[in-house]
Amino acid sequence: MRFLSLVIIIFNINFNLSAVEFTGKFEQGSFILGKTKPNSKIKIDNKKIRISKDGFFAFGLDRDRKNNVIISISENGVTKTFEKKVFKRKYRIQRIDGLPPKHVTPPPEVYERIKKDNILIGKARSIDTSLDFFKDKFIYPIDKYIITGVYGSQRILNGKPRRPHYGIDFHAPEGTPVKAMMDGKVTLAEDDMYFTGGTIIFDHGHGISTLYMHMKDINVKIGQKVRQGEIVGTLGQSGRATGPHLDIRLNWFNVKLDPASILD
Residues in the site for Zn ion, rule: CB under 5 A?
149, 167, 169, 247
Q: Strand pairing partners for 95?
A: 156
* Cα distance between residue 174 and residue 115, in whole Å: 28
* Cα distance between residue 103 and residue 195, in whole Å: 7
List the Cα angle 106/219/110 in 5-degree steps: 15
In the complex, the smallest distance separating the C-beta of residue 259 from Zn ion, rounded to whole angstroms, is 11
In the complex, the smallest distance separating the C-beta of residue 238 from Zn ion, rounded to whole angstroms, is 13
Q: Using the minimum distance from each CB to Zn ion, give the nearer residue, 132 or 247.
A: 247
Q: Using the minimum distance from each CB to Zn ion, give the nearer residue, 125 or 135.
A: 125
In the complex, the smallest distance separating the C-beta of residue 146 from Zn ion, rounded to whole angstroms, is 13
Q: Using the minimum distance from each CB to Zn ion, give the nearer residue, 84 or 155.
A: 155
Which residue is closest to Zn ion by CB? Answer: 247
In the complex, the smallest distance separating the C-beta of residue 171 from Zn ion, rounded to whole angstroms, is 10
H or E element at residue 17? helix 2-17
Tell how strand 154-157 and strand 93-96 pair up.
parallel
What is the DSSP code (8-state) at residue 83? Answer: E
Integer CA distances (angstroms), 35 to 19, 32, 263, in order: 8, 10, 19
Q: Using the minimum distance from each CB to Zn ion, give the nearer residue, 55 or 167.
A: 167
